[in-house]
Amino acid sequence: MKVVVCGAGQVGSSIAAYLSEEGNNVTVIDQNSNLIADMNESMNVTGIVGHAAHPDVLERAGAADAEMLIAATYSDEVNMVACQVGHTLFDIPMKIARVRDQSYLQASCSNLFSRDHMPIDVVISPEVEVARGIANRLRVPGAFNIIPLADGLARAVSVICKKQCPLINTPLKHLASMFPDLKVEVLAIIRNETKIIPTPDDEMLAGDEVYFVTATQHLERVMTAFGFDAPATRRVLIIGAGKIGTKLAQDMRTTMPEVSIRMIEANYETAQRVTEKLGDVMVLHGDALDRRILDEAGVADTEAVVAVMNHDESNILSSMLAKQYGCERAIALVNNQFFTPLVSSMGIDAIVNPRTITVSTILQHVRRGRVKAAHTLRDGFAEILEVEALDTSAIVNTPIREIKKPKDMIFGLIVRGSEIIAPRGDTVIRPDDRVIMLAAHGQVKKVEQMFAVRPEYF
C-alpha cells in the first residue's frame, strides 16, 4: 500500500514507522527540514520538505497513485485542505484527518466533511478520544488503561499488580481453574522495561503492568480478583481547563450525571470562559501545586483527580500532591513516553497518552477488511486486535490447538453474537465470530493472512 503522511510530529512519525515496518510504501511531508532529515535517516520512508496542502508538494510525494492520505499536521486547516486536494486532484481513495478544534465537530457541522463538501473519510479528534479514554478509566477504579471491544461486550484492561494482589506468583494456566465461570485471559505483561507475551507457565509479579481481556459483565469481579474493589467514583477534580479538560467535563455531565465535578485552571481568562461555558461546574482559578487551592477544591474528599494540563511534569507533580493530600486515585495526561515506566512507581494510578490513543484510532481505519479494532500497547510492541472470521478462512471449523498461529500471538476471547467464549484447545472458531487477540507488532500481517482478511488497501 502506498501512503502519504502529512506531518512528521509524534503522531505522523509513529504512523509512518508502523506502516513502513509492515512493508508499505510511505512518504512523509513536513515543513520542518530537521524532522524530515531525522526520518530519512532512521526509517524506511521517503521524507519531503514542503507544505502538506500544496498540490505540487503532494504530487512530489506520489499522491497520484497513493491509496491513503493521513493528515496529522498541527494545523486543522492544513489537514482538511490536504484531504480536499488529495480528493479533487489525485482521487486518493481513503483520507484521514486529525481535527482538534471542537468548533468543526459540533453537531451543526455534521455535514461539513461529506463527500459533496469537504471529502474526508475519517475525522479523528484527539481531544474527543482522550476524554473518552479518561472517562473509561474513571468508570473502572484500578484500571491503568481500558479499551472497549466488540461493541462494548468485552474490555481489554491493564492494571498494576500490587503486593496484595491475590493472583501474583500463580502460573497463568491455573487462572481458568481458579475462576471457572469468569471469561478472562491475560494477554501481556510489562515488567520494568521488559515486555512479555506470556505462556501458560508465566506468572504475574508485584509491580507488573498486566493486560487482560474479559467479558464486560465480568469486569467488576475480575478487578476484585486482582485486588481492586474501590467504590464507584462520585467526586472528580479536573486539573486543567483546556480543550481536553473541558471536553471531559462536558462528556461527564452527560454520561456520568451522578458525578460531582470541580476544576482548577491557572489562567484567569480560561477559567472565566470555561465557567461561563459549563455553568454548573465549579472552576477555581489558581495553581494546582498550591496546597490552599487543592484544599479549596476539596481534594481530600475526592475519589479521583485528573491532571490534563499542557505539561507532563505539571500533571505528574499535581497528581502526586493530590494523592498525598488525600485523593484516592490520580490519572495523569503524559505525552512523553519515556515518563511512562516511572509513573506507576510515583503512586499515580493511571496515565493517558494522547499520541498512543490517536495512533490506535488511526490504525483501526488503516487495518481494513475484517479487522474491526486495533489498539497499540506500550511503545507499539504489540497490538490488541478484534478480527471477524470469514467463512472462507482456513481457521474456521478447526480446533484452536490445530491452528498454526504466528509466533507471539495469543487468543483472548471469542464473541459469537452476544455470547462471550473463553477459547480452549478444543474450541472451534465459526464464521462471523469476532476474535479478540494480542499479536506482536511484527506478526500483525500474518494474523491478517491467517484470518483471510482481504483488506481493500493492502
pLDDT at 298: 93
Cell 490447538 sits on residue: 401
Intervals of the chain under pLDDT 50: 453-458
pLDDT in tens, 160-190: 898 889 999 999 999 888 888 889 999 999 9
Domain 357-450 is classified in which CATH homologous superfamily?
Regulator of K+ conductance, C-terminal domain (3.30.70.1450)
pLDDT at 217: 93
Q: Is 169 left (phi over 0), alpha (psi -120 to 50) or beta?
A: left
**Is the pTM for the entire model greater than 0.75?**
yes
What's the Cα-to-Cα distance from 418 to each of 263, 430, 434, rounded to whole Å? 39, 14, 10
- List, edge to edge, every strand of the sheet that includes 382-388: 371-376, 382-388, 434-440, 409-416, 419-421
Q: Which helix (H) or strand (E) holds 118?
A: none
DSSP 224-286: HHTT--PPPP-EEEEE--SHHHHHHHHHHHHH-TTSEEEEEES-HHHHHHHHHHHSSSEEEES
Largest pairwise CA distance in the chain = 65
Are 235-354 and 357-450 equal in CATH topology?
no
- 155-224, CATH topology level: Alpha-Beta Plaits (3.30.70)
CATH match for 235-354 among 3.30.300.20, 1.20.1740.10, 3.40.50.720, 3.40.50.300 = 3.40.50.720
- Tell me how far the alpha carbon of residue 268 is from its chain's centroid: 32
- 2-124, CATH topology level: Rossmann fold (3.40.50)
Alpha-carbon distance of 28 to 50, in angstroms, equals 10
Backbone angles phi, psi at 351, to 5 degrees: -125, 160
Backbone angles phi, psi at 272, to 5 degrees: -65, -45
Backbone angles phi, psi at 67, to 5 degrees: -95, -15
pLDDT at 4: 97
Exposure on the CB side of residue 387, measured as CA atoms within 13 A: 32
pLDDT at 232: 76
pLDDT at 289: 92
Q: Where are the chain's structural domains?
A: 2-124, 155-224, 235-354, 357-450
No. of helices (H) and no. of strands (E), the chain? 14, 22
